[in-house]
Structure 1
């Protein structure tokens, strides 16, 4: 298990076996799971996924042969069965108890006159719950939801005493309790948070465009190290999936660095022999200068050597990429079929940054890919709910990939086509170990291309500006443009009447 980021538990006897939640990724956030025989709070607005997590928690216990109980005060058993069926689950091993008011309470003769409803209904509901617990003797119990108990209590003092009484009742009964709170009565119930052993909060964020983003926060966990901060999650068929926040410092750096060639001798010469594993390279330039093609060349060369590569494409379709590469002499089809090359088209409006990082980690840890390409940073920026945190998250991702010995390649499209006033939407040049710049320039009535390496931390590299072109012969890198000055301005000036090399 990964190391955690909060304070570890105090010393003493060995910790008890933690209960698995049954939610992929959530146990990692919780530092292994839930401590047994404690009371926990799961809160979130309606639609955040609390019921889904609760059912997964109980199904995990039922799969281990434990008696489990779902106490519902707001939804019917039929509605719960509908939720389970939507995920393809069988609720046969879960005991469900409805504590809903009878339709008879709507009759005038059933309305209370001498006593306040809370004085009668709360006591009756509590007695029915305790009787079922004594009968079933569950090891896991879910209460859905606290809003109903809060309304039945009628006041904060009585409500707090009721929760304390429930906690005391379950003490010694070998039972782990999960309380659900939909936050309809208050945004943050500090009364229950102070009583609960741990507090898990589910949140929904609705951007101006695209699908809702969901994130999870563990705000409290007594005596247990857990992974702090926000973690993205998604609700899909089969349940809720959590994508733990990446912490690069948890991973061990590689001992040695080796260069990987591009398969093009002139490009390798320009880069001082190739790109080192465990480093990141940024290809930056105007749209259409060939940034994506050079990055794809490295992935293609890696696949030819028998290594694996993963490409995450934001700005073009996979079919367009494959057609373009075929036109340059790179047939990706055999390597895609053999799974040496993984192509993923990313929709920034639908995929959260946490889920993208999770998929990249999966490719690295499970498939041992040697090359990762993110094309482009512009699309990655659009996937971020708040661009202020893009650099921080990108730094963690690049550090992690570097420590795993992966050669990472980023593509950044600049605003503008020709001239010195080229702007990049996000400046990641200081994060990358190498920076390769591609430029348009004008000569003899034609628009030509040039390539140069501006930075390389892994060793020496050529500082020349070379001619560059894409065509039926593939990627062509020509001789250094030594007889011109001002190439990066877009309108170079020949020195002593020199001509541009063809």
Structure 2
């Protein structure tokens, strides 16, 4: 009944892990979901011939998710069936679903079939509903079947409480038996099926969930004025799914899932020793303070007050990499990419040519409901596409503000995961941080973050003879000797340049510096 050649182009998704079966063991085939990030969360894709439930509240994205999976797998040889029960009419649903880029109107009617079961459901006959489902599956021999929404055929809470019976209502026991029989039919036909249901999280213990091979739960969380969508693979039989909640976003392309950083980076652990290779910072005089430059693969933080030149240091680091023929990715949170590219020209860089050549990518991440995982996915995608060896994040302060409030509460943990995931790929990360402290303790959101980075460069204003002077110092470098001096530096339209060490003044950190008597 099933053609292996037909199935070969829609199984074993690109995210599927390589597994060697034991002798006599049959490895599960996987359907590509067509949803970026979801195959990884499911542990390799949607198991073929599995019986799955997409659950969640209204507006969570269940129907869009099902449609995206459907269009990713439907073929003329093995079409897809989409049954609507008592939800929105087919015409209305198609009117909105066809706005997504994954929707292919040429497939409707030959590879994708929409069938409405409202008449059978309104008659109150579960056997008729099941019979219609069965006959259509036998007639069209589909590869994937969606029932949206099977839960609409059960009695409402008010009807159950009052004892009122109506043609379109069924007992809970009847619905459970219906789903069991439906699951038995679909799995015996070797059909991959998706049942969509409106459920709240406390209802996860219902017996119906024990029948399913896979359960994907979609939620929306509201925090202040921000709404964050999350997805959980509650259950996937026969394979190890990623645990936890994963954020996702719905755009004109459909759903995109952003797997949690620790899980998606499990195979990217940093196993290599600290590199002896150094990268030039691009700031004249700074490499000498750093003991010869920045070790490859380090995470560097430049912290300072407003106007001290943090972004300038970051831009010179990026420009130096481009001059050396490296690829660079810059994530900006406080200015538009066009403005950043314009300032690069002052460093003898032709940004337009480098962008066209795929050597430079400037990513603008400024919406106010970002998640850390979404940010990482964007940066990693750009790193992979460009082969970047340097990443600049400007700035962590803007990054925190751009996050949805629910993610700001654990920003230190999120930053730790983000930096760890990036450096695990071998790139060198250069970050800027707005810091108002004038002491040697670098703080952020009230918590120390020094352990997150390998190298910390601090910029300060000090008063010398009634004038503000910019000074820079290196307060941390893991596994490397570095300068302990305070050095003056200047910023011009050509960038920053490190000057002489301050040797004749004491108390720079106290706010009341004094000149040494021996120098007078």
TM-score for the superposition, normalised by structure 2: 0.85
Indicate which of 407, 414, 417 corresponds to 1:386: 407
**Paired position in structure 1 for 2:268:** 251
Alpha-carbon deviation of 1:77?
1.7
Indicate which of 64, 82, 85 corresponds to 2:95: 82
Answer 1 or 2: higher relative contact order, Cα 8 Å, separation at least 6: 1
Contact 1:215 1:230 in 2 (8 A): yes
Contact 2:66 2:194 in 1 (8 A): yes
Structure 2: distance between partners of 1:440 and 1:297: 21
SS of equivalent residue, structure 1 residue 174: coil
**Paired position in structure 2 for 1:13:** 25
2:245 pairs with 1:230: yes
Contact 1:203 1:215 in 2 (8 A): yes
**Paired position in structure 2 for 1:97:** 115
2:332 pairs with 1:313: yes
* Deviation by residue 1:121-173 (Cα, 9 ceiling, x = unmatched): 33332322222222222221101012213235533222211111111222321
Moved more, 281-290 or 78-87: 78-87
Structure 2: distance between partners of 1:147 and 1:206: 25
2:149 pairs with 1:145: yes
Contact 2:283 2:313 in 1 (8 A): no
Structure 1: distance between partners of 2:315 and 2:23: 52
SS of equivalent residue, structure 2 residue 303: strand
2:491 pairs with 1:470: yes
Structure 2: distance between partners of 1:423 and 1:403: 24
Report the aligned-residue RMSD: 2.8
Structure 1: distance between partners of 2:407 and 2:254: 27
2:499 pairs with 1:483: no
Contact 1:52 1:83 in 2 (8 A): no
Indicate which of 414, 421, 444 corresponds to 1:424: 444
Indicate which of 241, 257, 261 corresponds to 2:256: 241
Alpha-carbon deviation of 1:392?
2.8
Structure 2: distance between partners of 1:437 and 1:57: 50
CA gap of 1:404–1:466, structure 2 versus 1, over 3 A, is: same
Contact 1:249 1:400 in 2 (8 A): no
Contact 2:300 2:430 in 1 (8 A): yes
Alpha-carbon deviation of 1:18?
1.4
Structure 2: distance between partners of 1:329 and 1:497: 44
Moved more, 122-131 or 236-245: 122-131
Moved over 4 A (4+): 1-4, 8-12, 184-187, 322-334, 418-423
Structure 1: distance between partners of 2:465 and 2:332: 35
Alpha-carbon deviation of 1:81?
1.8
Alpha-carbon deviation of 1:464?
0.7
**Paired position in structure 2 for 1:270:** 289
CA gap of 1:249–1:392, structure 2 versus 1, over 3 A, is: farther
**Paired position in structure 2 for 1:130:** 134
Contact 1:329 1:472 in 2 (8 A): no
Moved more, 325-334 or 245-254: 325-334
**Paired position in structure 1 for 2:215:** 199
Contact 1:284 1:291 in 2 (8 A): yes
2:455 pairs with 1:434: yes
Contact 2:458 2:472 in 1 (8 A): yes
TM-score for the superposition, normalised by structure 1: 0.88
* Deviation by residue 1:304-347 (Cα, 9 ceiling, x = unmatched): 00101111111233344345555677664553454322112211
**Paired position in structure 1 for 2:79:** 67
- Identify unmatched segments of 5+ residues in structure 2: 1-13, 156-167
2:32 pairs with 1:28: no
CA gap of 1:264–1:168, structure 2 versus 1, over 3 A, is: closer
How many aligned residue pairs are there?
480
Q: How does 1:151-230 map to 2 (within 5 A)?
A: 151=155, 152=168, 154-183=170-199, 187-188=203-204, 190-210=206-226, 212-230=227-245
Structure 1: distance between partners of 2:243 and 2:120: 43
CA gap of 1:171–1:266, structure 2 versus 1, over 3 A, is: closer
CA gap of 1:331–1:468, structure 2 versus 1, over 3 A, is: farther
Structure 2: distance between partners of 1:24 and 1:127: 36
Structure 1: distance between partners of 2:326 and 2:214: 44
Structure 2: distance between partners of 1:101 and 1:266: 79
